[in-house]
Structure 1
Amino acid sequence: MSAPSDERATVDFSNPIDRENAIRVGRAWIELRRGAWTANLREYLYGDDDPLEQGQMDALDLLTRSDRTMRGLAARLRIDPSSATRAVQRLVDDGLAERFPSPDDGRVVMVRITKDGRTRHADVDARRSHTMALILSEFTPHERADLAVMLDRFVDALDHVCERLGTAPDPHTSHDAETPDTTGTARQ
Structure 2
Amino acid sequence: MIRIRRRQSRRSLARPVVEGLTEPVDLNTLAVVDVVDEGAGEGGRDVTVGFVADRLAIDPSRASRIVADAVKSGFVRRVASQEDGRRSCLELTATGERAVAAAHRTRQEFYATVIEDWDTQEQREFARLLTKFVRSLDGAEEG
* Normalised TM-score (structure 2): 0.70
In 1: Cα distance, 2:7 partner to 2:105 partner: 23
User: After the TM superposition, which residues 156-167 of structure 1 pair with which residues of structure 2 at under 5 Å, given as runs?
Assistant: 156-160=135-139, 162=140
Aligned counterpart in structure 1 of residue 2 of structure 2, from 19, 30, 51: 30
Q: Are residues 1:102 and 2:68 paired? A: no
CA offset at residue 125 of structure 1?
2.0
Partner of 1:52: 27
How much is the aligned-residue C-alpha RMSD, in angstroms? 3.2
Q: Is the 8 A contact 1:96 1:117 kept in 2?
A: yes
Compare CA radii of gyration and give the structure with the larger one: 1
- In structure 2, the gaps of 5 or more residues are none
- CA separation of 1:102/1:135 partners in 2, compared to 1, >3 Å: closer, same or farther? same
CA offset at residue 72 of structure 1?
7.0
Which AA in structure 2 matches 1:58? D
- CA separation of 1:73/1:159 partners in 2, compared to 1, >3 Å: closer, same or farther? closer
User: After the TM superposition, which residues 123-162 of structure 1 pair with which residues of structure 2 at under 5 Å, given as runs?
Assistant: 123-160=102-139, 162=140
- CA separation of 1:72/1:119 partners in 2, compared to 1, >3 Å: closer, same or farther? same
Secondary structure in structure 2 of the residue aligned to 1:112: strand
CA offset at residue 71 of structure 1?
6.2
Partner of 1:62: 38
In 1: Cα distance, 2:7 partner to 2:38 partner: 26
In 1: Cα distance, 2:7 partner to 2:56 partner: 23
Partner of 2:15: 43
Which AA in structure 1 matches 2:88? V
In 1: Cα distance, 2:26 partner to 2:53 partner: 24
Tell me which protein shows more helix as a share of its residues: 2
Secondary structure in structure 1 of the residue aligned to 2:85: coil
In 2: Cα distance, 1:78 partner to 1:56 partner: 8
Q: Are residues 1:93 and 2:69 paired? A: no
